[in-house]
Amino acid sequence: MAPHGWFVRCDQLSFAGRLTLEPSLILDELEPGQHATVAALRLAGAAVDAAVLQRLGELGFLPGEPVRLLRRGPGGREPLAVQVGDTMFALRRAEAACIEVTPIAEVGP
């Protein structure tokens, strides 16, 4: 378990126990329509606490789950429409900042 008591990114540990870095972004850094995989949940700023991380986990924002930023609110701001699995949610930026994602490369025709 991570020092903050929540998730450890399992893709960061190699078989030798070494840390490997995967390119990751914060969920709200994705482009609308872009697909990604949840890499980790983390505390991000004073506006969130462990209860927010627990709620996000209960909603299905768990490492390995597919996620997609559907659209942003008026003026590119809040709320963010996000799909995790088959379910759509509206998130505040503070909540989205807690979700690290690994973008999925688009495969051309």
Q: Which residues pair with 40 in a beta bridge?
A: 100
With bands split at pLDDT 50, 70 and 90, how would you rate the model's confidence at 7? very low
Please tell me the predicted confidence (pLDDT) of residue 26: 94
CB within 8 Å of 73: residues ≥ 6 apart: 79, 80
Residue 6 lies in a domain: no
Ranges 21-35, 62-76, 81-95: which has the least confidence: 21-35
Please tell me the predicted confidence (pLDDT) of residue 69: 97
7 vs 49, higher pLDDT: 49
Residue 28 lies in a domain: yes
The SS3 call for residue 26 is strand
Residue 81 lies in a domain: yes
Residue 17 lies in a domain: no
57: tokens are 């986990």
Contact present, 85 and 60 (Cβ < 8 Å): yes
Q: What is the CATH number of the domain that holds 54?
A: 2.30.30.90
Residue 61 lies in a domain: yes
Say how far apart CA 7 and CA 1 lie, in whole Å. 6
CB within 8 Å of 72: residues ≥ 6 apart: 32, 78, 80, 81
Please tell me the predicted confidence (pLDDT) of residue 65: 95
Residue 18 lies in a domain: no
Residue 5 lies in a domain: no
Q: What is the enclosing helix (H) or strand (E) of 55?
A: helix 50-59
Residue 45 lies in a domain: yes
Domain that holds residue 78: 23-103
90 vs 8, higher pLDDT: 90
Domain count, the chain: 1
Question: Amino acid identity, residue 40?
Answer: A
- Convert the pLDDT of each residue in 9-67 to its tens digit: 444 443 344 333 456 899 999 999 999 999 999 888 776 788 898 999 999 999 999 99
Maximum Cα–Cα distance across the chain: 47
Please tell me the predicted confidence (pLDDT) of residue 15: 38
